């Protein structure tokens, strides 16, 4: 793995850590108890997480369209990554 890939994965790990903290750290202002979500149905949480992600992406990329426009950009970024580096390591 090269330096650029390491940087990408470090950013991914940081975001993942922040989300996991939100789900496990009861002292966090952003704590979400998934067991209490609509009788264990986490669909509303997952939908909210997706919308938040797209809002950040669209703001950073100055996208004026709708969420599908944001998903399009996200897909392009992933395809660019895969074309440059091959498959994503596990």
Per-residue confidence (pLDDT) for residue 88, from 0 to 100: 65
HSE value, Cβ hemisphere, 13 Å, CA-based, for 47: 5
Contact 23/37 with Cβ under 8 angstroms?
no
Grade residue 90 by pLDDT with cuts at 50, 70 and 90.
low
Distance CA 80, CA 68 (A): 18
Mean pLDDT value across the chain: 91
- The string of pLDDT tens digits covering residues 44-83 is 999 999 999 999 999 999 999 899 999 999 999 999 999 9
Residue 32 predicted with pLDDT over 80: yes
Q: Which comes out higher in pLDDT, residue 40 or 50? A: 50
Distance CA 47, CA 4 (A): 30
Q: How far is CA 50 from CA 14, 19, 45, 82, 87, in A?
A: 17, 12, 9, 22, 23
């Amino acid at each position: 793995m090269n330096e650029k890939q390491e940087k990408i994965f470090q950013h991914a790990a940081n975001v993942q850590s922040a989300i996991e903290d939100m789900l496990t750290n009861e002292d966090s202002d952003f704590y979400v108890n998934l067991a209490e979500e609509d009788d264990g149905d986490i669909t509303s949480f997952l939908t909210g997480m997706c919308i938040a992600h797209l809002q950040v992406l669209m703001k950073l990329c100055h996208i004026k369209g709708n969420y599908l426009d944001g998903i399009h950009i996200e897909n392009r970024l992933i395809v660019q990554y895969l074309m440059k580096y091959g498959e994503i390591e596990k």
